[in-house]
Amino acid sequence: MSNTMIRVSEIFGPTIQGEGALIGRPTVFLRTGGCDYRCSWCDTLHAVDSKYRDEWTPMSASDILKRIDSLSGGKPLMITLSGGNPAIQPLEQLIRLGHDKGYEFAMETQGSVSHKWFSILDVLIISPKPPSSDMELDGIALFKTLQAGGYERGNGPDILLKFVVFDEADYKFAKDVASNYPHLPVYLQPGNHTVDGEADQAGLMDRMRWLIEKSTQDKWYDVTILPQLHVMIWGNKKGV
């Protein structure tokens, strides 16, 4: 496959962004295939595990944009770059072509891989994976991701930190990592423990209440706590 081709798991929308700083905002999702992590609670294994590789379609930047144009009716909106880990895909040309047509780009990544083209994103959401994921944080890689986005230069995309929280260890992890970057907005969301089958809405709301109570007790007031809105609306249905 050409090094300019992008492995695509799915393109869908327009729908709304279901989580984080852009929650509720209309968007088209480009979900790329492939990831350098294997989180224990991953809810997008169809875009992560190599056994699904045959279902991923190599596409050029221009063909992806044509598909998004078709979905949006030619009216520019936010394009959400997701995965897997979209940072391992060659997305620079797509972003530049999309910007020329008025599209904006938000990308979420765990902060394990960095590229200079991060600086031309509109929004960079960095979601370091907590202990419950069974993945280890690489603090140097995280900092390089921030640098690539222009963190120290004060230019480039809006940079946000987002943490999935399942338990006390995850909460402490989020607080510790966020303390290293006090100028970045921080978003917390309760982890979804039912990625297969029906979503446990009551259990998710219990975790949401616990997370709110925990952060207010700790006087962690410079944080935003949000649910996964798409799970509340559609459950665990994919491609919405």
Residue whose C-alpha is closest to residue 11's, from 61, 54, 71, 53: 71
Residue whose C-alpha is closest to residue 116's, from 92, 94, 138, 99: 92
Question: pLDDT, tens digit, for every residue of 155-189?
Answer: 889 999 999 999 999 999 999 999 999 999 999 99
Domain positions in the chain are 6-234
Give the residue carrying structure tokens 């952060």: 215
Q: So what's the pLDDT on residue 230? A: 65
Cα 12 to Cα 16, 44, 138: the distances in Å are 11, 14, 32
Residues ≥6 apart with Cβ < 8 Å to 63: none
pTM: 0.92
Residue that wins the pLDDT comparison between 197 and 80: 80
The answer regarding whether domain 6-234 maps to CATH 3.30.565.10 reads no
Cα 236 to Cα 12, 44, 90, 127, 184: the distances in Å are 15, 10, 29, 20, 30
